[in-house]
Chains A and B, each alone.
Chain A
């Protein structure tokens, strides 16, 4: 087996000067060159100005987390140095422009490269500064310049401003920087990204995979309102839906977005909306309606740091409690949370299947870091998956509902029990169209026929019927898999985008002799009761790492299973590193 080669490169700079786009190009080039990549970025909500950071883990083995420290740190200004130097690995590489600042002497390897001068004087176009940086990276570590040029070319040709001069300047910048490092610097660090076998992989972020999954799930209506970090889901659907016969609406607000989705769903069309915390708050009345009228809907909440407007471009897992309870009254809903880019594809399809099968709102809780996280994923993940349809009412089973005598068909509609009490809780639904039996979908409490009904027995029976669907689903839905030691003494329970980081911490703990295992929940409503109970009982201590203040999953597990979890919370807007979780494991052992 070949040795693992992993280089984690961080670029720190100012928003608007190409830091993030330069990082994206690097990640894509490395991935196309044959490496696995995993990116993390943080940037301000403002369009221009403010510190931003891009980090990419590049490895010949799958990358599970963003890495505890950077091996290579490129600082495009003094502030980037001040902010990031503590996250550079001991003995790592610091690259800077001596015209910006002089670093303190430390235990790192330093390369001084005049980015500004090369861009300004040699290329005479300051915007090429990020190309100068990429050329230097290529010269020092790899990947080869050709891989970078390919990506730059494909990015530029997509842009409306594509022009030969700019491309020419970019090429010059890349080459000048590479020449500079080869001629003027003597490499004395161990980081080399050599040739690697190419594999059949695709490189994309969470939101891109989510859009692909929604389209594969036959989602054919989308309504949304712009909000960071969910807007590119909306933009993706706006672009792609017409090509597959679907329709799109940019709604005037999030209430209208979800209401339109319910309208489309009533018409039998698979429909979705995507938002973030503030928009999700506005949608709650419609979540109640979706649940009460039993209309399928998929609602993506790309979580960001709250409360209120919070930190729109920062990561947090703090909408779980809200997602569990959003809406007045007792409102059954289902919740799915993806852990990685692959999940954004596979689990959004599961979310659609759940919405259709159980005629219920399904909330899909991704988060800011995952929306933008670029990963290399094996291409064969992206294949058609089985789709489940809603159970349609069979008109042929009803007298007088022949499609030709339409008034006659409607005449029997009072007999059609749209909300029939069934053992599973799932009642056959009718969709408007020729020969269909009409009914009224309503947010009022209703009887089996859908007529308003406030009788105590009926409300009781209808509440039980709606909640019965969760029990049915608990039996039918996939169970989470244990990761780590079967005989673990320390257990970790997590949810959402932290899975890879937790698994890496478990790996490292086991390598140090600890007995550890992790259970990662991807369906948070209904919870896989049996698996969770068994896991809790099988270990001595349970750690629940979450990127939120209050320990929302720990609270849920405490309320449901009486679990006194060891809470590990991080809520600065940045995800966990594996090292932080490893420390928690070591501390409780």
Chain B
């Protein structure tokens, strides 16, 4: 992680490109929280890369002054992992929505979680497909009526935090776009954490699934006495249905795959084809 020599403000991370989001979109709060988090860490924009897939929230990198990679639907995590493995000196943050990470990119999420590559993931979850104008998402509640589930959603609701905890993820947190200060602090901690950091950011959609009031009522700070090294307790909090806890669920320090990969590289030598080819004589 490379820091700047001067003290930046959140504004210093804001690009001139205007967000394309609807007025009142939760993603504004997540964007502000991210500016805040990066400023708090004084991260150098030239050594920070924000990677995304496709979706409303995946426009994110365009609104940042850091390096950015706006890839294709579902593939933010593979891009981010390849980048971090190849360039461990960079700070890599992957952002996107519930469709991107929990549906089309769900296969990648599992393996990224198991590898523990040092990247930070912020998933903006509005429980609906916004960019395609209102179809059901994996996090939509069962029974939910959308354009693609006119008779109500038949599938169960995906629980991101509980799932990621089960995958032995070394940093799991949840924030809420309406609480950008707390979310910003979680993003800061996530980036500081050496390992795969998963931040579930509740980020309501004002246009296709209005959950502001419900979430204002259900969002609750994780109890101060919660032990963040106790995975079973963290799972219990995540399984709670009445309350949506925000804060740090679980944190564990363990070796990252990128460190392990580069430890091998410490003994590396320049490639010499004339030497190498002798094995085939």
- Say yes or no for B151: interface residue by CB 8 A criterion: no
State A104–B72 Cα separation when bound (angstroms). Answer: 63
A255 vs B77: C-alpha distance when bound (angstroms):
11
Q: In the complex the two chains form, what is the Cα distance from A432 to B276 in whole Å? A: 32
CA distance in complex: A247, B83 (Å): 11
Q: Which of A242, A267, A442 contacts B70 (CB 8 A)?
A: A442
Q: Does B281 contact A (CB under 8 A)?
A: yes
Report which of A212, A243, A259, A439 forms a contact with B82, defined as CB distance below 8 A. A259
**Contact string against B for A residues 250-270, beta-carbon threshold 8 Å, 1 for contact and 0 otherwise:** 011101110111111011110
A435, CB-defined interface residue at 8 Å = yes
**Residue of A246, A261, A436 with most chain B CB atoms under a 10 A cut-off:** A246
Most buried by A among B73, B75, B274: B75
Q: Is the CB of A267 within 8 A of B68?
A: no
Q: Would you call B5 and A260 a contact (CB within 8 A)?
A: no
Residues in B with CB closer than 8 Å to A384 are 273-274
Given the complex, which residues of A lie within 8 Å of B80, measured CB to CB?
263
| Min CB gap B246→A, angstroms | 29
Bound complex: CA A383 to CA B271 (Å): 11
Q: Encode B81-100 as 1/0 by CB contact (under 8 A) with A.
A: 11111110110000000000
Mark interface residues in B241-260 (1 if CB within 8 Å of A CB, else 0). 00000000000000000100
Q: Is the CB of A438 within 8 A of B268?
A: no
* A379→B279 CA distance, assembly (Å): 11
Within 224-281 of B, Cβ neighbours of A (below 8 Å) are at 258, 261-262, 264-265, 267-271, 273-274, 276-278, 280-281
B261 touches A248 (CB 8 A): yes
Q: Is the CB of B15 within 8 A of A413?
A: yes
B40 within 8 A of A: no
Question: Which residues of A sit under 8 angstroms from B78, Cβ to Cβ?
Answer: 223, 251, 255-257, 259-260, 263
* Residues B87 and A252 in contact, CB atoms below 8 Å apart: no
Contact at A242–B71, with CB atoms within 8 Å? no
* A112 sits at the interface (CB 8 A): no
In whole angstroms, how far apart are the Cα atoms of A383 and B47 in the complex? 36
- B261, A432: Cβ atoms under 8 Å? no
State whether B72 touches A410 (Cβ < 8 A): no
B49–A266 CB distance below 8 A: yes
Range class of the A interface residue count: 35 or more
Q: Determine if B8 is an interface residue (Cβ-Cβ < 8 Å).
A: yes
Interface size band for B: 35 or more
Note all chain B residues with C-beta closer than 8 A to A212. 273, 276-277
| B residues in contact with A407, CB < 8 Å | 4, 6, 8, 12, 45, 65
Query: Interface with B: A19-27, A134-142, A200-208, A303-311, which one?
Result: A200-208
Question: How many inter-chain contacts with C-beta < 8 Å in the A-B complex?
Answer: 215
Which of B106-114, B142-150, B178-186, B207-215 contacts the other chain?
B106-114
| With A215-B271, A434-B2, A438-B46: A267-B90 Cβ-Cβ less than 8 Å | yes
Cα A39 to Cα B44 in complex, Å, equals 55
A221 to B110, CA, bound (A): 22
- Minimum CB distance partner of B117 in chain A: A249
Complex-state Cα separation, A434 to B111, whole angstroms: 31
A249–B273 touching, CB < 8 Å: no
Taking CB as reference atom, which chain A residue is nearest B44? A406
B69 interface residue, CB < 8 Å from A?
yes
- Contact between B46 and A410 (Cβ–Cβ < 8 Å)? yes
Most chain A Cβ neighbours within 10 Å, of B51, B68, B74, B85 = B85
Residues of A within 8 A of B (CB): 32, 201-204, 208, 212, 215-216, 218, 220-221, 223, 242-249, 251-253, 255-257, 259-264, 266-269, 271, 285-286, 288-289, 293, 379, 382-384, 403-407, 409-411, 413-414, 432-444, 451-452
Task: Give B residues with C-beta under 8 Å from A.
Answer: 2, 4-6, 8, 12, 15-17, 20, 44-49, 51, 54, 59, 61-62, 64-75, 77-87, 89-90, 107-108, 110-111, 258, 261-262, 264-265, 267-271, 273-274, 276-278, 280-281
CB-defined A-B contacts under 8 Å, sample of 30 = A202-B278, A216-B271, A216-B276, A223-B78, A243-B268, A244-B270, A246-B265, A247-B265, A255-B74, A256-B75, A256-B107, A259-B82, A260-B78, A260-B82, A262-B82, A263-B80, A264-B82, A269-B87, A293-B69, A293-B71, A382-B274, A382-B277, A383-B273, A407-B45, A410-B45, A433-B46, A435-B46, A442-B62, A443-B72, A452-B20
4 closest A-B pairs (Cβ-Cβ)?
A260-B82, A263-B82, A245-B268, A264-B86
